[in-house]
Structure 1
């Protein structure tokens, strides 16, 4: 008999080690288990529609008060090769998929070396780095509608991908759970692919505060067309391609003197200022206070409105 766990501390499932308890919690390993859990939830709480789909919580800030609803943790984990495509479960770690590509001399995901989180999360937010994005090699996405429990399949062009964006994040697919996906690839020289992948992993280890609880980049980098001309000129040597010209938020945070700024147990990282780390039993409110401070300082000094890359739950 299926049982939904009650009062589960979310900090135990968070890369941030922050968050209160979820009223109900369930880990699903297949579409069938997910559907069963949703049906049971509807019986238990017929009027409560608060459902949160959780991957590895590498970009989610849970509230100190917890989640008044059902948290469903995605554990659909598989990687299979089907002719010219690689099929992968949404709960599969991106790092495992990248390793599979590298070990099988398949090119296309070198840019994702060291990228945290699950494939489902990467698709939802169109995760990217080093000029690459999840959408680049993505062929098809399979999802489940939380309301109708119907399965849908969409080709890449129907997923509404944009900068850290998809229809699963804000659009017609926002009430759907990503189940699996198909990625394309090109054959390459295994040694070269592994070297390029490792280069990205080493870059992250060297420049990101991976030894302290964090949930990655707090803010989206700023597309150049949203940067005032005066600011663009001031930071012209800091502009990078990701995958189009952007101004890194970290440079603006440093300019505002916010690197190393702390509130409670949270701190704007000195190693990479676009990371807010939990260095001393931080509360979600500590992190939110730093986010508010950063947004105000950047707006006041540069007339730029920052947009969070992390999620709140």
Structure 2
């Protein structure tokens, strides 16, 4: 017998035991079916017992599974009670990167509707690269951003849920020649330099995405620049260099600028809800549920035929996308 059992394994077992269906249990826990099956197999190995009898048509509890179920429920109830006691003493801290970005803001608002009894507070860390360190240090609970762009060492200590493939765009001065276009083909940027946060220690995942997008297209990423704090300083540096700025379509244009979507192909920024592994807070389930419901209701997982994402993002996100894409939309969001 193992000296310790990971509560996550017990939670996986209880979900399957109550649903008697791996797909439904995975949707209930907001995890990929493959990950759920892996956790159940690990629990069976650690206990040295077969917990489920599986066929192509049904899943049933074995006698050992029946014996474990009441113990597992009591253990999880005790854990939930402990987490709730400590979680209620502080708010859930969620980083939205920047005040003007729509995805995280809408998920946060929906989570507050789902869990009005809990305090969920916004933070603005400006980038997932910086927020990852804050999460691992316990100063932040969750954030939004490009999970695949993080260092693998960080990814190993974090988990994520794909929320949206967000179309990318350019922020341009109104007098820029490309500002006259309703959408900017990537080929039109050949020979130009685009600002993508190089040198900003808070957003290395964004600069990496730009390098992957522009590679082989004759588009340069502007060299590292001093970090501009505040809209006024950002506009001043933008006017000084004249470089277009890589952004997303929901980015709020600043005075004297316009936002134009990129096309041919349509580059997509994969946005995930990211949190440190083992996070326990009574409002966290509401945050994950809000993200999944909005993704389904708004079609945030859909990708245009000409959509582009890096291969590494395709690999990292494919399991999560496959699990959540078929999840039904909640009645509250359909009404």
TM-score tier by shorter-chain length is under 0.3
Bigger helix fraction: 2
Q: Relative contact order: is structure 1 or structure 2 higher (C-alpha 8 Å, sep ≥ 6)?
A: 2
Q: Which structure's CA Rg is the greater one?
A: 2
After TM superposition, the score normalised by the length of structure 1 is 0.25
Bigger proportion of residues as strand? 1
